[in-house]
Amino acid sequence: MTPAIPAAVVFDNDGLLLDTEEAWTRAETELFRRHGSTFTYEHKRDLIGSSHAIAAGKLEVMLGQPGGGVALMDELHALVMLEAAQDVEPRPGAVALVDALNAAGIPVAVASNSQRAFLDLVLGAAGVADKFGVTVAGDEVPNPKPWPDIYLEACRRLGADPADSVGLEDSPTGAQAAKAAGLTVIGVPYLPDIEIGPADIVAASLADAVVLEAVGLVPSRG
C-alpha cells in the first residue's frame, strides 16, 4: 500500500473524472443505428474501458463486419467528438478532490485510453484542463490499458514512484493497468454492476471518505 501521503494521484478520465460515458453512449447508439443494429446495455458493459484498438475489434464482432473494426472505430470517434463538444460534466466529487490534492501539493495527472484530441476536447469542455500539469492519452504510449504503459508514463512525467502512487479507475481494464504499473488502485465503478477485481479499494464515488483517506487528504482510520 502507499504511504500516508502518496507520491502522486493519477485519474482515469472517461467515467471516472468526467462523465463522458453519456457522450460515448449517444455516439455508440447512433453508430449501431447507422449499421442496422441496436446498442444495448450489454454492449456498453463490454466496451467500457476498452482502448481504441480493442474497441475496434469488439465493434466488428458486434456489428457483424469482419475486418471493418478500424473504420467503425473511426466513425465512432467522429461521432463522439461531436457529442462531447456539447455536454461534458465532472463526475460527483471529482473537482473537489482534484482541488484538494492540488491545495495539498500532491501531484496529479490524467491517464486516459482515449486519444489526445478527445482528451483535450473534454478536459477543456468540462473546465478542468488547467488543474492537471500532466495528461497522458492512449495514442501516446506503445500499449494502452490494460497494459501499464499509460500509468508508468504519467508517473514518469510527474517524477513519482508508481509504488508510492494511487490510481483511480472506473473499469476493470483500467484498474488492471494501474495495478500492473504498481500503483495502489481505487475503483469507483461507473456502472454499478461492474466488479473492479484488481482494485485495492472500491468506493461508490470520489467523495467517499475511503477515497480521501487513500489519497492522504484525511488521516486513516485503520
Superfamily of domain 9-19+88-214: HAD superfamily/HAD-like (3.40.50.1000)
Q: Which residues are catalytic?
A: 12, 14
pLDDT at 87: 78
- Which residues have a Cβ under 8 Å from the Cβ of 60 and sit 6 or more positions away? 66, 67, 68, 69, 72
Across residues 98-103, what is the average pLDDT? 98
Mean pLDDT for the chain overall: 94
Q: Give per-residue pLDDT as tens, 159-211.
A: 999 999 999 999 999 999 999 999 999 999 998 888 998 999 999 999 999 99
* 86 vs 36, more confident: 36
pLDDT at 1: 46
Across residues 214-218, what is the average pLDDT? 93
Q: What percent of the chain has pLDDT over 90?
A: 86
- Which residues have a Cβ under 8 Å from the Cβ of 27 and sit 6 or more positions away? 76, 79, 80, 82, 83
Q: Give per-residue pLDDT as tens, 29-50.
A: 999 999 999 999 999 999 988 8
Q: Which three cell numbers stand for residue 142?
A: 506503445
User: Where do the structural domains in the chain lie, given as residue ranges?
Assistant: 9-19+88-214, 21-84
Strands (E), the chain: 9-11, 108-111, 134-136, 166-169, 184-187, 201-202
pLDDT at 139: 94
